[in-house]
Amino acid sequence: RMPILEQCYNLMDFEAVARRVMNKSAWAYYSSGADDEITMRENHSAYHKIWFRPRILEDVEKIDLSTTMLGTKVDIPFYVTATALGKLGNPEGEVILTRGAKKHNVIQMIPTLASCSFDEIVDAKGDDQVQWLQLYVNKDRAITKRIIEHAEKRGCKGLFITVDAPQLGRREKDMRSKYSDAGSNVQETGGDNVDRSQGAARAISSFIDPTLSWKEIPWFLSVTKMPIILKGVQRVEDVIQAIETGVQGVVLSNHGGRQLDFARSGIEVLAEVMPVLRERNWQDRIEIYVDGGIRRATDIIKALCIGATGVGIGRPFLFAMSAYGLPGVDRAMQLLKDEMEMNMRLIGCSRVDQLNPTLVDCRGLSMH
């Protein structure tokens, strides 16, 4: 029998239910990673190499999980990252994630390739609710500029330019299942020549520009007041270049293991980046986010201890939405909050700004 919602006790439980209830091609699109999926698996298992060094005898009666990301106060240090094609999992699509994010005061990153239109997703938000935009850069820069200006006008508070996908990775599970319906908006964004024979990802991504390079970043900075964040950075040299170029943030990410297989996990890269930034005293010049494989509040805490400002979570909310709709997303977020509160107590921290590198033993990582 299918578990009822109250029997989901952690984020992995939603995945198990989603696998059983989703249609095969939707499941293939959400769950797949590139090639042999080594990076996708490593994303989560890398967290298993980090151990805690908890403090004792601290007053942890009251726990405050709030923090600030790109100027926005949030109730807990994660955001809902951009994942394309929400309607594959639920007929209402991304607006379900919007409503869940509203309830828990977390930020939602809207994908360029959402199934709902951008305006539908913005219209679904509450007055004070904050959204960011994930941008795939179109070969036609006039289209890209229009998208950016519209997002700014509609109140988006951050522009996340995806930089790890000059070409879409090979997600073979997805390619094997011929994709038939992505929702109307995506077809518009993707333009014509949609090839449906090789899975959802290929069908929707033909407009992405592989010529995008560092020298264009100043142009992005000049056309918007939104903070600009590069999503998909994988080495410290590029974090330094990002700082020198003047962007406000980076996401250490390998796209959920869907792009370059054998890319390192975001947490491994974070452990490479932070000591170099601290050595230069540059840690306050940029906000560093991490995504990929975050399934437990202990994963979030580990990333914050090493130096992340916040983390992005993708598939778990897609699976919760696909399995149970809004109540599923609501419960997934609540479970993370409960886990986080308990684990903050157990490591002896009552506030997020107390998390620091001495609380973790990272010797199991190759970079520490």
Query: Does residue 9 carry a catalytic annotation?
Result: no
Is residue 183 within 8 A of residue 85, CB to CB? The reply is yes
Smallest separation, CB 295 to ligand FNR (Å): 8
Token representation of residue 342:
């308990």
Strand pairing class (51-52; 360-361): antiparallel
Smallest separation, CB 293 to ligand FNR (Å): 5
Give the DSSP per-residue string, 45-90: HGGGG-EE----S---SS-B--EEETTEEESSSEEE---S-GGGT-
Smallest separation, CB 37 to ligand FNR (Å): 11
In the complex with ligand FNR, the residue whose CB is nearer, 291 or 349, is 291
In the complex with ligand FNR, the residue whose CB is nearer, 163 or 344, is 163
Query: What is the rounded CA–CA span in Å between residue 330 and residue 326?
Result: 6
In the complex with ligand FNR, the residue whose CB is nearer, 49 or 315, is 315
Query: What is the rounded CA–CA span in Å between residue 300 and residue 360?
Result: 12
Token representation of residue 99:
């409503």
In the complex with ligand FNR, the residue whose CB is nearer, 60 or 194, is 194
Which of these is catalytic: 44, 79, 104, 164?
164
- Which backbone phi and psi does 156 adopt, to 5 degrees? -60, 145
CA quadruple 53, 331, 20, 84: dihedral, nearest 10: -90
Query: Does residue 150 carry a catalytic annotation?
Result: no
Query: Does residue 136 carry a catalytic annotation?
Result: yes
Query: What is the rounded CA–CA span in Å between residue 354 and residue 232?
Result: 27
Which of these is catalytic: 47, 136, 179, 289?
136
Instruction: From 242, 260, 230, 211, select the one nearest 134 (Cα to Cα).
Output: 230
End-to-end alpha-carbon separation of the chain, Å?
Answer: 45
Smallest separation, CB 33 to ligand FNR (Å): 9
Smallest separation, CB 227 to ligand FNR (Å): 16
In the complex with ligand FNR, the residue whose CB is nearer, 125 or 231, is 231
Q: Which helix (H) or strand (E) holds 30?
A: helix 24-31
Residue 108 region by backbone torsions, left for phi larger than 0, else alpha for psi between -120 and 50, else beta: beta
Is residue 256 within 8 A of residue 277, CB to CB? The reply is no
Instruction: From 89, 86, 82, select the one nearest 26 (Cα to Cα).
Output: 89
Smallest separation, CB 23 to ligand FNR (Å): 14
Is residue 311 within 8 A of residue 23, CB to CB? The reply is no
Map tokens 């991504």 to a residue. 205
Contacts with ligand FNR, residue ranges (CB under 6 A): 29-30, 43, 81-84, 111, 113, 134, 162, 231, 253, 255-256, 258, 291-294, 312-315
The residue type at 176: R
In the complex with ligand FNR, the residue whose CB is nearer, 82 or 107, is 82
In the complex with ligand FNR, the residue whose CB is nearer, 290 or 360, is 290
Which of these is catalytic: 13, 255, 261, 299?
255
Residue whose beta carbon is closest to ligand FNR: 314
Smallest separation, CB 157 to ligand FNR (Å): 17
In the complex with ligand FNR, the residue whose CB is nearer, 48 or 280, is 48
Number of Cβ within a 10 Å radius of residue 344: 22
Is residue 294 within 8 A of residue 303, CB to CB? The reply is yes
Active-site residue numbers? 136, 164, 255
